[in-house]
Structure 1
Amino acid sequence: MSPNPFSKTIPFRPGNPTHLLNYMSLGDDSGAVLLDEQALRILKKIQEPIAVITVVGSYRRGKSYFANTLLGRHDGFKLGSSVDGCTKGIDIWDTPFYHKDKRVVVIDCEGIDDPNQEVPWANKLFILCLAISSTLIYNINGIIGRDDIEKLFLMTKIVSLIQPPNDHKFLPNLVVLLRDFQLDSPPDFVEYFLNRLSKVNEDAAKDITKFFKKFNVYGIPHPGIRQDAMRNMSEVDTDQLDPSFVEKIEEAVTNIFDDLHPKYLNASPMTGVAFAEFLERCVVQINDPSNTMLSIPSAYEATISYAAQKAYESCLELYNEMMDHMSLEGFPISWDKFEDVHNTAFEEALKNFIQQIIGSVDQIQTFQKTFRDKITDIKDQFYMKNSSAMREYHEGWAHKLWKEHVAHGLEVENLFDTDQFEEAIALFEQAYETKVMPGQEAIQVLNEFKTNQYKDAIKLLNTYGILREERANEMLARQEAEKKYYEILQEEEQLKAEINNVKIENEKVQNQLEEKVKGMEECLRNQEQQIREDCQSRLNNMQDQLIRTLEKKPSFWDSVKDLVGSVAGANVLENFL
């Protein structure tokens, strides 16, 4: 069957539903939540910040259909026409889609009051949805009855079974859908909803405003089609639906996406790997019979550590690959090129690492320090390989050039005189200089020649009387002085290079950390701004409602006139006044 788009206003999202988790009953009112590995793999592939929209609520109330409209389609998640719930466990859309710098995952949850459910499963299901969602859509009957209100009150009490991280900012945006709403639309659905809620259960209304800093309410009218067509909503054409139904669906979906934020861990948005780990940690806690609460802090800490470990693995591998590519060209390479390749690889690996890690600023700084230490260890391994190749390279050339310029004049039948020897040494050093790759290895090899070959040659010529004792000692002293000079020069150059390299790395780390912290601060500001705007909007609506109420309320004397009941009586009163 071909896909069935909902409307042009809501983008059509290709894909199919797939199972995320289910519940296995173990008897005696106990059971275990089971995660699907294929669905977890889908989540782990998400590299952008992840946002999760979960649709929950009563079974057989169009919950799955609304989940489909979030995808811009009538079909998608399975719909049913029987009295039994259709969705079992939790299904996700297998193709997370991109929306405003984040990847969106839509979740369709089993009806929370399915008569075939076990009570522990219903509670665990709802707790899990509260913990993992960015936006939780609660789908209930448009005519708010006592039963619906009691379910909402139960929802707020379930929140108390979650140990929060210092506050309730981990809770999702709450959206309440009033389905088949037949009354005239109130000026403000949120105030209408809270008023209805307060009349039956004041605590429920207070808890919702306390726990959910951002929530909205939408009245969705009846689709306006016959009962037989309602049984096949996945196949219906949008033109068959009541325009007001389509309009309200479009309005709700558009606003839900406008208000959608990533799933945060503290001030850091989670990516797929972190979210999948967080989900698994929550499931482990829920399945533990000794746990009476879902501890968000412990799940957070485990997720933070896991995300850091995965970031270490992937980013160190990236650094290794880039450095390996350099080594394929063959060692030795110049130290300038070595540092250029390292800096490029380090910057790329660091950028990816900082993007992947989550947690507080202090935790992030600790992670990056550990990461940098690990990078240094890997760099040192490549350094030793290149240094060894460098030494071998210079030793090879030194021996070759010594043989070419000096060795033949140290044979007994061809011994140099003093001038010839000094000229040969000068030619050797000049030729060596043309082959040198700058670095400590070149100086070390030359100094070793001064210590060994030079001394042996001078002693040989001195033994045969070609060099006088004074001249030989003078040459040995000069070679020793040059050796020490080059050693000092080598140490100085090496120290300068190390300082420069550390400076470059520090700048890269500082820039990446500043960008990360700036992003976290921006996330916090956006969250706080969103809360302030929502509170101000509610306050404005309450003031408007109060003004409308006062305008409609009759004055005292108008009431007296009405009580008099006649124009004449009213005139008498007016004359009296």
Structure 2
Amino acid sequence: MESAIRMDSPICLIENRIERGRAKLVVNPEAVNILSNIHQPVVVVSIVGMYRTGKSYLMNRLAGAQKGFSLGSTIQSQTKGIWMWCVPHPMYKDRALVLLDTEGLGDVEKGDKKNDSKIFALAVLLSSALVYNSLGTINQDALDKLKFVGEITELIKVRTGSIPDEQATFSTYFPIFVWAVRDFNLELEIDGKTVSADGYLENALKFKTPERSPEDKEYNELRNRLRMYFGNRRCFVFDAPTDSRKQLKELEHLPDDRLDKVFVAQSALFCEYIFKNAEVKRVDITVDVTGYRLGELAKLYTDAINSSNVACLEEAVVSLAEKENKIAIQEATEHYEKRMRTVVMPTETLKYFLYLSSWFEDEAWEKFLKRSIKDKDQKFLKEFAEKVERMRMEFNTMNEAESREVCAALIQKHSAGFERGLAVGTFRKPGGHGKFKRSLKAVEEKYNRERGKGVKAEEVLQQYMMSKQAAEIIIIQEDNALSQKQKEKEVMNNKKQMEQMKARLQEMEGEQHKSAEEMANLRATAQQLQRMLGQ
């Protein structure tokens, strides 16, 4: 299902407010509302790096736009918090591309030493591709600026409780890591041999062996964490976009033909790699994140980091699953109800009613299963099945009531003359019983010729016929045209017919109960099959 993505410009997703000298992260409800309307899986690309290094320009490139994220041209950081721009994915129509531009790291105006780590942690948690943007070269100084990677274990946990070697599992959940080296002006050579940009990065992440000092240990520690947390790594180097300082200030207004050709080509390769290799964001490895789910995760992770300073991936999945499964129940049952309200009642037979109900229930089940995630012990599946069953019974009651109302009106219509005859004593005279029988039979025949009576047609008729038994007995007794023996015989036949009608009514009730029971058995079988398929 494609979503209508209409964002002409970025919007702040997570605002970074400074209160009493400390940063407080606040999720923007307007941005979450935009995400909630994106029903496709999302590919989330975040960019982090020191401020004033051109991060926003790269994100605009990914958006296929000349401008959007604010570039700025002064020494002040332009981006505060995390800004979001949702655009159609340029390669996959069944996905949406969500770009997250984070505020510059190392901004002296923030006043909160933990702020960089929090922003970096949120970028890691929310994205399927993380771009680290830096200037110049990958040297010790550039790596030192990534010191907050070492603090990430203080902010992120995979599961509650202690887990042996938990850090080693981070790479399973973390995004691909792309280092973008800007204004690179060296030759890609190591020991006189040409290397790729990826080789350049891996060489920078080599360990010092053996470790001979605390300095060596510290040197290796950051590299070890980068390698361990981000198993999928790539590197891109970029020439300066232009030699002119004046043009750098006007970069968002310059077309490609006025930029350095090598830079333009490098930018195109970078974008192509991201588009092809950044996967759909997932939680718990298997669950695709839609726009709605991304908004919920943003709230969950931000609240966790604000309150306890630790975001637990397992807890986030449990909380997200709880909300998603409740919505799944609501949407699926609403679908069933909407479809059932299109049914013209009364239905001609109970079998046809159950056929329609089963059809619409199957549609509702598909909707539920499509949205439901991580339904441990099938708690929500059972709740959904019970709710639909109650609704089916309510609609069945409505169908029966509608049928009774229609049938009662038809009986009233066709028995009007007969009832007047009873009222004025037309049948209480010699030969009246025969006339009574013929008149009652005529009412029955006219009633039976009517269409659209519904599931209670026979029951209402039989109840009406039974209601005339007392009057018939009196008429028989008063019919002087009959001998005593004939009268007794008629009375016995009448009683026999009454018993037969009572038995038929009981039989019909049993058939309806049996049909409902069969429907319940079918539902139980379907649940069992679903459990087997889910294993």
1:59 deviates by: 1.2
Of residues 13, 16, 27 in structure 2, which corresponds to 1:20? 13
Aligned residues: 496
Mapping of residues 111-190 of structure 1, within 5 Å: 111-117=104-110, 118-159=112-153, 161-165=155-159, 167-168=169-170, 169-185=172-188, 186-190=194-198
1:494 deviates by: 5.4
Mapping of residues 128-527 of structure 1, within 5 Å: 128-159=122-153, 161-165=155-159, 167-168=169-170, 169-185=172-188, 186-199=194-207, 201-266=219-284, 267-288=286-307, 291-326=308-343, 331-335=345-349, 338-339=353-354, 342-343=357-358, 345-359=360-374, 362=376, 365-404=378-417, 408=421, 412-415=425-428, 416-435=431-450, 437=452, 440-462=455-477, 464=479, 466=482, 468-492=487-511, 495-496=514-515, 499=518, 503=522
Q: Quick check: 1:440–1:494 contact (8 Å CA) kept in 2?
A: no
Alignment deviations for residues 198-247 of structure 1 (CA, whole Å, 9 cap, x no partner)? 35732333323322232322222222432221222101221122222222
| Larger deviation, residues 452-461 vs 60-69 | 452-461
| Larger deviation, residues 503-512 vs 426-435 | 503-512
Mapping of residues 14-163 of structure 1, within 5 Å: 15-27=8-20, 30-93=22-85, 95=87, 97=89, 99-100=91-92, 101-117=94-110, 118-159=112-153, 161-163=155-157
1:512 deviates by: 12
| Larger deviation, residues 179-188 vs 277-286 | 179-188
RMSD between aligned residues: 3.2
Could you say what secondary structure the match of 2:374 adopts?
A: coil
> Distance between the aligned counterparts of 1:381 and 1:485, measured in 2?
25
> Distance between the aligned counterparts of 1:173 and 1:205, measured in 2?
16
Residues 389 and 496 (structure 1), Cα distance of their counterparts in 2 relative to 1, 3 Å cut: closer
One-letter identity of the residue aligned with 1:367:
F
| Larger deviation, residues 384-393 vs 176-185 | 176-185
| Larger deviation, residues 379-388 vs 457-466 | 457-466
Could you say what secondary structure the match of 2:402 adopts?
A: helix
Structure 1, unpaired ranges of 5+: 1-12, 522-577
1:411 deviates by: 5.1
| Larger deviation, residues 433-442 vs 380-389 | 433-442
1:135 deviates by: 1.2
Q: Quick check: 1:21–1:36 contact (8 Å CA) kept in 2?
A: yes
> Distance between the aligned counterparts of 1:347 and 1:432, measured in 2?
36
> Distance between the aligned counterparts of 1:511 and 1:159, measured in 2?
39
Q: Quick check: 2:432–2:479 contact (8 Å CA) kept in 1?
A: no
Residues 245 and 510 (structure 1), Cα distance of their counterparts in 2 relative to 1, 3 Å cut: farther
> Distance between the aligned counterparts of 2:384 and 2:293, measured in 1?
18
Residues 135 and 358 (structure 1), Cα distance of their counterparts in 2 relative to 1, 3 Å cut: same
> Distance between the aligned counterparts of 1:271 and 1:510, measured in 2?
28
Q: Quick check: 1:405–1:427 contact (8 Å CA) kept in 2?
A: no
Could you say what secondary structure the match of 1:382 adopts?
A: helix
Residues 508 and 433 (structure 1), Cα distance of their counterparts in 2 relative to 1, 3 Å cut: farther
Task: Give the % identical residues.
Answer: 23
> Distance between the aligned counterparts of 2:516 and 2:328, measured in 1?
29
> Distance between the aligned counterparts of 2:176 and 2:85, measured in 1?
20
Structure 2, unpaired ranges of 5+: 1-5, 160-165, 189-193, 209-218
1:406 deviates by: 7.0
1:407 deviates by: 6.1
One-letter identity of the residue aligned with 1:476:
K
1:317 deviates by: 3.3
One-letter identity of the residue aligned with 2:108:
P
Residues 135 and 395 (structure 1), Cα distance of their counterparts in 2 relative to 1, 3 Å cut: same
> Distance between the aligned counterparts of 1:251 and 1:347, measured in 2?
47
One-letter identity of the residue aligned with 2:464:
F
Q: Quick check: 2:427–2:436 contact (8 Å CA) kept in 1?
A: no
> Distance between the aligned counterparts of 1:333 and 1:445, measured in 2?
15
Could you say what secondary structure the match of 2:146 adopts?
A: helix
Could you say what secondary structure the match of 2:468 adopts?
A: helix
Alignment deviations for residues 132-190 of structure 1 (CA, whole Å, 9 cap, x no partner)? 11111111234112222123353144145311148433322221112222333454433
Could you say what secondary structure the match of 1:393 adopts?
A: helix
Could you say what secondary structure the match of 1:225 adopts?
A: coil
Residues 338 and 508 (structure 1), Cα distance of their counterparts in 2 relative to 1, 3 Å cut: farther
Could you say what secondary structure the match of 1:457 adopts?
A: helix
> Distance between the aligned counterparts of 2:416 and 2:524, measured in 1?
43
One-letter identity of the residue aligned with 2:389:
T
Could you say what secondary structure the match of 1:261 adopts?
A: coil
Could you say what secondary structure the match of 1:54 adopts?
A: strand
> Distance between the aligned counterparts of 1:150 and 1:459, measured in 2?
108
Could you say what secondary structure the match of 2:179 adopts?
A: strand
1:279 deviates by: 1.1
One-letter identity of the residue aligned with 2:34:
I
Residues 225 and 459 (structure 1), Cα distance of their counterparts in 2 relative to 1, 3 Å cut: farther
Alignment deviations for residues 525-565 of structure 1 (CA, whole Å, 9 cap, x no partner)? xxxxxxxxxxxxxxxxxxxxxxxxxxxxxxxxxxxxxxxxx
| Larger deviation, residues 486-495 vs 305-314 | 486-495
1:485 deviates by: 3.0
Could you say what secondary structure the match of 1:414 adopts?
A: coil
> Distance between the aligned counterparts of 1:413 and 1:486, measured in 2?
30
